[in-house]
Amino acid sequence: MAGIPLGSEPPQQVEVAEEAEAAMAAAESGRQGNGVMPDAAVPQDLVFDLQLVLDGFSQCRGEDGQLYLDAYLRAYSELNKFLQLLGTVFNFVSHDIQKKVRL
């Protein structure tokens, strides 16, 4: 049975170790693996607040069963921020919500 000589590691383990070291160095320098600062400023119009969504959907239906559109639209507008943050895959959904909220 051929074994790996002591003191040498299989190539896969070396690659994984090198990637881990690179990630550690990037974290220590304050950058993520993609070169973006983790606390990079997000545009204020894309800051998502889940509490606004929950409050809006909770408050949109009155005790009398009536639907209050101002709270409903506010919740959907906030939810749209989240969809925009998810990227281009959800652009069609985001644009659809924007059109419907403006009506």
The string of pLDDT tens digits covering residues 9-58 is 555 555 656 666 666 666 555 544 555 555 566 677 778 899 999 999 99
In which domain, by residue range, is 101 found?
41-103
Q: Report residue 62: phi and psi, to 5°.
A: -80, 170
Does residue 45 form part of some domain?
A: yes
Element containing residue 19 per DSSP (H, E): helix 11-28
Q: What is the mean pLDDT of residues 88-98?
A: 89
Terminal alpha carbon distance of the chain: 74
Task: Report how many domains make up the chain.
Answer: 2
Q: Is the pLDDT of residue 94 over 60?
A: yes
Q: Is residue 93 part of a domain?
A: yes
Arithmetic mean of pLDDT, 72-92:
90
For residues 29 and 69, membership in a common domain is answered with no
1 in a domain, yes or no?
no
What's the pLDDT score for residue 3? 59
